[in-house]
Amino acid sequence: MNGNSEETDEETDDVLIARFAGNGITRDSADHFRGRLDRRLLMARCADCGRWQHPPRPMCPACWSWNMTMDEVSGRGTIHLLMVLHQGPPATGVDYSTGHPVVTVELEEQRALRFTSTVSDDFPAEDLAIGTAVEVEWIERDGTPMPVFRKAAS
Amino acid sequence: MTDRNPMKDQVAIVGLGSTGFSREGGASSLSMALAAATEAITDAGLTAADIDGIVATNEPGASGPEAIAAGLGITEATHHTKPTPVAVFSLLDAARAVFTGAADHVLVVTPVVMGPWNSRRAAADPWRRGARSGILPVPEDATMAAAYAAWASRYIHEFGATKDPFARVAINSRTNAAANPLAAVDTPLSFGAYEAARMIREPLNIYDMDLPVDGADAFVLTSAERARSLPHTPVLIHAATSGIVGKNDEDQLDGLHRTGQHVVVDQLRRTSDIWIDDIDLFYPYEGFTIITLTWFENCGFCPPGEAERFLREHWNDDAQRIEIHGRIPVNTHGGSLSEGATRGTGHLREAVHQLRGTAGARQVDGARAALVTPGGFFFNPQGAVLRTAT
């Protein structure tokens, strides 16, 4: 799962880069995006000390191990940061005239391990607030799976 | 304390130049850089032959030191760099060059240009439409500029703040801009207009963020000793620093309780004999209003989360601006909300004008020391304490 592997398939990488060009995909984050194609939210984790880090980087900043892996997170967390965009880059299914929410979710796996996306279409407006418990849900944008957050089942 | 800051008061800002700022477009980055640079060198009482150091800027579309040197007719230079944009990076680079003897007279030149990603006028300009920005083209992104709206929501949540202190920062800038001929926008702003403003990235509206502009600032630095024989009152760099926390990815920052702003403040307090009780002028960056609130708090004017109370208590209602203890004005030039996105060079230029007594209609009588704090929360917080020689 190491993004620096010499054995990466050039054609596969080209396809991956094309699909996630807008997300700033790099060699170091490639496996996170491969996971998205399988609808799995993968984040970088140190196989030696267990610390998560995001965005993915090739070495563990806590113990300097190079034994980084990609593990699936639960997708559960709470809204930590919240904004509603009234203008922004064009994207399929995004309507700025009604306001497009962007949430940064603090995941339950580790303090200050966060993932930024939007919320599900049926997210209750009254719960769109910092502190609301959420869980990941997969939608598609332009045929590519995309993780978003719905209100957590209580 | 002195050994921590051997450069204290040893380097002076002796020349200023600025094109002023506008949203008209039509000039090249290099032409604006050369216009500001020639003005600054002339203002310092020097000529191209005296300049042996050039600090350009790694701004999109900006020329490197080699093109500046060629364009100005510089003879030879022994310091020529292109640091990350934001004012104190350039100031520190130039000051260190002077202090270490790398060069005697260093020119800092900082052009900014509107790009096709933030300006319709630039997108329609055939000479600019090919320029690229580093901004990611997906909406679901809380980095770069968007991060300030995201953390503004967190600030409001944690402290139960209203938008009132944000409004006061914006209104203060526009009030002060009325007397600044360099400003791109100089009309006053009312609380009502602020409250009615179009949201851009809620909770931030169009008045909470600076505007893309064209223009350039330039500065000339030399030793405090050489400065004494030049035309203007030398303005000394008493202390200056940048600072970051290691975990500084915008949406992964641990919290507002410890950002690069705290690192900057701690370092300035270790290296400066002058602090907030001693200053006459304060220039906190306000490219996004949330940044200003935390600069007030982190510099120690008030505890965390109390900028709302502080700004209300230190508001001059007649003048519609902030006056700390009725004495210390804030962003006397109108800041980035009026001059535009100049990355703090306007804050620095204005502090120098005030301290040397060339601020015209904006002049604060007897100003001797200023605190300038450009930059935000993540990768560019910075600060400088400037003072006059006497």
Considering the domain boundaries, does residue A1 fall inside one? Answer: no
Backbone angles phi, psi at B136, to 5 degrees: -70, 140
Tell me how close the Cα of B150 comes to any Cα of chain A, in angstroms. 5
Candidates B136, B246, B255; nearest CB to A24:
B136
Report the pLDDT value the prediction gives residue B133, as an integer from 0 to 100: 62
Q: How far apart are CA B166 and CA B152, in angstroms?
A: 10
Residues on chain B bordering chain A, Cβ-to-Cβ distance under 8 angstroms = 135-142, 146, 149-154, 157, 198-204, 246-247, 249, 251-255
Considering the domain boundaries, does residue A2 fall inside one? Answer: no
Q: How far apart are CA B73 and CA B87, in angstroms?
A: 25
Query: Per-residue pLDDT for B8 more than 60?
Result: yes
* pLDDT tens by residue, B133-146: 655 689 999 999 99
* pLDDT tens by residue, B247-303: 999 999 999 999 999 999 999 999 999 999 999 999 999 999 999 999 999 999 999
Instruction: Please give the tally of structural domains in chain A.
Output: 2
- Six-digit token string for B342: 């100049």
Tell me, yes or no, if A132 comes closer than 8 A to chain B by beta carbon: no
* Domain housing B66: 2-116+214-222
| Helix residue ranges per DSSP H, chain A | 10-19, 30-37
B390 exposure class (CB count in 10 Å sphere: 0-12, 13-18, 19+) = exposed
Same domain, A41 and A89: no
Question: Residue B3's pLDDT band (boundaries 50, 70, 90)?
Answer: low
Smallest CA-to-CA distance from B242 within B91, B55, B89 is with B89
Considering the domain boundaries, does residue A5 fall inside one? Answer: no
**Pairs across A and B, CB distance < 8 A:** 88
Same domain, A17 and A63: yes
State whether the Cα torsion A49-A55-A57-A61 is positive or negative: negative
Percent of chain B surpassing pLDDT 90: 91
Candidates B141, B246, B254; nearest CB to A116:
B141
Q: How far apart are CA B288 and CA B82, in angstroms?
A: 25
Q: Which residue has the tokens 């001929």?
A: B181
Q: Strand, helix or coil at B217?
A: strand
Report the pLDDT value the prediction gives residue A24, as an integer from 0 to 100: 86
Smallest CA-to-CA distance from A119 within A91, A90, A92, A79 is with A79
User: How many degrees, rounded to 5, is the angle at CA B27 between CA B23 and CA B29?
Assistant: 100
CB contact under 8 A, A86 and B154: no
Query: Per-residue pLDDT for B2 more than 60?
Result: no
Considering the domain boundaries, does residue A133 fall inside one? Answer: yes
CATH number at residue B91: 3.40.47.10
Tell me how close the Cα of B154 comes to any Cα of chain A, in angstroms. 6
Considering the domain boundaries, does residue B367 fall inside one? Answer: no
Mutate to test the interface with B, among A104, A132, A137 (most CBs of B within 10 A): A104
B6 exposure class (CB count in 10 Å sphere: 0-12, 13-18, 19+) = exposed
Considering the domain boundaries, does residue A109 fall inside one? Answer: yes
Query: Per-residue pLDDT for B61 more than 90?
Result: no
Same domain, A102 and A41: no
Query: Per-residue pLDDT for B130 more than 90?
Result: no
Smallest CA-to-CA distance from B110 within B371, B343, B378, B323 is with B343
Q: How far apart are CA B169 and CA B297, in angstroms?
A: 14
Task: Write out chain A's pLDDT in tens, 154 residues.
Answer: 444 444 455 568 888 988 998 888 999 999 999 999 999 999 999 999 999 999 999 999 999 999 999 999 999 999 999 999 999 999 999 999 999 999 999 999 999 999 999 999 999 999 999 999 999 999 999 999 999 999 999 7
Instruction: Please give the tally of structural domains in chain B.
Output: 1
Considering the domain boundaries, does residue B122 fall inside one? Answer: no
Considering the domain boundaries, does residue A34 fall inside one? Answer: yes
* pLDDT tens by residue, A84-123: 999 999 999 999 999 999 999 999 999 999 999 999 999 9
Same domain, A108 and A90: yes
Q: Which residue has the tokens 């699909």?
A: A19
* pLDDT tens by residue, B329-375: 999 999 999 999 999 999 999 999 999 999 999 999 999 999 999 99
Report the pLDDT value the prediction gives residue B382, as an integer from 0 to 100: 98
Same domain, A123 and A60: no
Mutate to test the interface with A, among B132, B133, B140, B378 (most CBs of A within 10 A): B140
CB contact under 8 A, A83 and B200: no
B206 exposure class (CB count in 10 Å sphere: 0-12, 13-18, 19+) = middle
CB contact under 8 A, B141 and A102: yes
Considering the domain boundaries, does residue B323 fall inside one? Answer: no
Considering the domain boundaries, does residue B47 fall inside one? Answer: yes
Candidates B202, B247, B253; nearest CB to A83:
B202
Candidates B136, B142, B200; nearest CB to A86:
B200
Q: Span B105-126, mean pLDDT?
A: 91
Tell me how close the Cα of A104 comes to any Cα of chain B, in angstroms. 7
* Domain housing A22: 10-72
* pLDDT tens by residue, B167-198: 999 999 999 999 999 999 999 999 999 999 99
Residue type at B106?
V
Report the pLDDT value the prediction gives residue B116, as an integer from 0 to 100: 86
Candidates B137, B202, B252; nearest CB to A114:
B252
Query: Per-residue pLDDT for B123 more than 90?
Result: no
Considering the domain boundaries, does residue B49 fall inside one? Answer: yes
Considering the domain boundaries, does residue B161 fall inside one? Answer: no
Same domain, A80 and A62: no
The ipTM, to two decimals, is 0.93
Report the pLDDT value the prediction gives residue A6, as an integer from 0 to 100: 47
